[in-house]
Amino acid sequence: MLQAVEGTQLSVDTSKQHLASFVKWAGGKTSLLPDLLPHIPHRLTSYYEPFLGGGALFFGICARTTSFSAHLSDTNEELINAYRVIKESPDELISFLSRFQKEYDSAPDQSAYFYQKRDWRPTGRVESAARLIFLNKTCYNGLYRVNSKGVFNVPFGRYKNPRILNSGSIHAVSQVLQNTRADLRTIDYKDALAPCGTADFIYLDPPYQPPSKTSSFTDYTADGFSEKDQEELAEEFGKLADKGCMVLLSNSDTAFTRHLYHDFEITKVTVNRPINSVGTGRKGYKELIVLGRPKKN
Ligand SMILES: C[S@@+](CC[C@H](N)C(=O)[O-])C[C@H]1O[C@@H](n2cnc3c(N)ncnc32)[C@H](O)[C@@H]1O
């Protein structure tokens, strides 16, 4: 629905007011959107985001247009399940979250309620999505971290009045996933990129290369993303650019990442990053944006 904003000529699509990541995600790119969005082509036909996480750029694009097809993937199975459930069964999900919100708000011991949900192993896909969203909104810093057995182990976050249910957000996300006919897959980025060709736009936002050994927070799933993985990704990036795909990548600005992408157009930006391992240094974090067009000599 379009509505004129009072006193201006602007129109705002009210159905998209709630459009943003439905989870807080380590390395989420909301604060980098002003630097990323200008690189999105006006004529976007096919969009690949194989390190999806909270999908900040995907939602940023959808706030402008949903006239493209989306190929969204991540190795985090629980996360991809949540996207699928939002796309296909938003109302069922909302009824679970609404119950969790009421139970949490009235729980005599909210920490105990959190740990009870953390220990719960739901078998249904909607319940599993509801648990992931509940834990994301109530755990420490909205982190997703699992132990070597793949069991979520982030402690209670002690937030005042966390918003576990945001039905406006769930409906808005569901709508854009449907409009873009999003295919949502739990696969490694290399498999996700195998079908890419010339008309495709690809955004790569891998787990960060840590700027120093002490600030490593790259274990988004049971598998970390090593230096070797970063090198293989850079190779993949080159192959995609050679195929004629448009490739955009973000990573931390380190000597190592600058070297990996020295053949390409690099922009250095400074942003606030919402999550890091030690809870300090949230301001002025240096990032690289790399464009997959070979350098002109
Ligand atoms: C930096 S986060 C992406 C953040 C996202 N751009 C956002 O705005 O929230 C990186 C993501 O890559 C995923 N990942 C890690 N290794 C992967 C792999 N080999 N293939 C695909 N996804 C992977 C992680 O599960 C994590 O969600």
- DSSP codes joined into one string, 280-294: ---SSEEEEEEEEEE
- The residue length of the chain stands at 297
Cα 2 to ligand 1 centre (Å) = 34
| pLDDT tens digits, 198-246 | 989 999 999 987 766 555 454 444 357 889 999 999 999 999 999 999 9
- Residue 71 has phi, psi (to 5 degrees) of -120, 100
Position 158 scores a pLDDT of 87
Which amino acid, residue 107? A
- Residue 273 has phi, psi (to 5 degrees) of -105, 130
Pocket test for ligand 1, best of 29, 40, 62, 75 (most atoms within 8 A of CB): 75
Residue whose pair of structure tokens reads 């949490």 in the numeric block: 104
Residue nearest to atom 19 of ligand 1 (CA): 188
pTM of the model: 0.89
| pLDDT tens digits, 118-136 | 999 999 999 999 999 999 9
Which residues line ligand 1 at a C-beta cut-off of 6 Å? 21, 25, 27-29, 50-51, 53-56, 74-76, 188-189, 205-207, 220-221, 225
Position 283 scores a pLDDT of 59
Angle, CA of 23, 32 and 271, to the nearest 5°: 110
Instruction: Judge whether 194 and 203 are in contact, CB under 8 Å.
Output: no
Residue whose pair of structure tokens reads 């897959």 in the numeric block: 185
Residues 6+ apart with CB under 8 A from 248: 36, 39, 40, 201, 202, 203, 204, 289, 290, 291, 292
Position 139 scores a pLDDT of 97
Parallel/antiparallel/unpaired status of strands 183-186 and 69-74: parallel
Cα 297 to ligand 1 centre (Å) = 33
Average pLDDT, the chain: 88
18/278: higher pLDDT = 18
Percent of the chain with pLDDT over 90: 75
Residue nearest to atom 7 of ligand 1 (CA): 28
Q: Which atom of ligand 1 is nearest to the CA of 225?
A: 16
Cα 110 to ligand 1 centre (Å) = 30
276/73: higher pLDDT = 73
CA–CA dist 167, 172 (Å, integer): 8
Confidence of residue 13 (pLDDT cuts 50, 70, 90): low
Q: How far is residue 221 from each of residues 10, 94, 111, measured CA to CA in Å?
A: 42, 26, 24
Position 3 scores a pLDDT of 37
Residue nearest to atom 17 of ligand 1 (CA): 75
| pLDDT tens digits, 169-207 | 999 999 999 999 999 999 999 999 999 999 899 999 999
Position 239 scores a pLDDT of 95
What token pair was written down for 44? 């976007």
Cα 96 to ligand 1 centre (Å) = 26
| pLDDT tens digits, 142-158 | 899 998 888 999 999 98
Cα 8 to ligand 1 centre (Å) = 39
Domains and CATH numbers, the chain: 2-76+181-294 (3.40.50.150), 86-168 (1.10.1020.10)
Is pLDDT of 7 > 50? no
Position 5 scores a pLDDT of 32
Q: Which atom of ligand 1 is nearest to the CA of 21?
A: 9
DSSP state of 29: -
Strand blocks (E) in 104-245: 183-186, 200-204
Confidence of residue 18 (pLDDT cuts 50, 70, 90): confident
Which amino acid, residue 29? K
Confidence of residue 86 (pLDDT cuts 50, 70, 90): very high
Q: Which atom of ligand 1 is nearest to the CA of 27?
A: 1
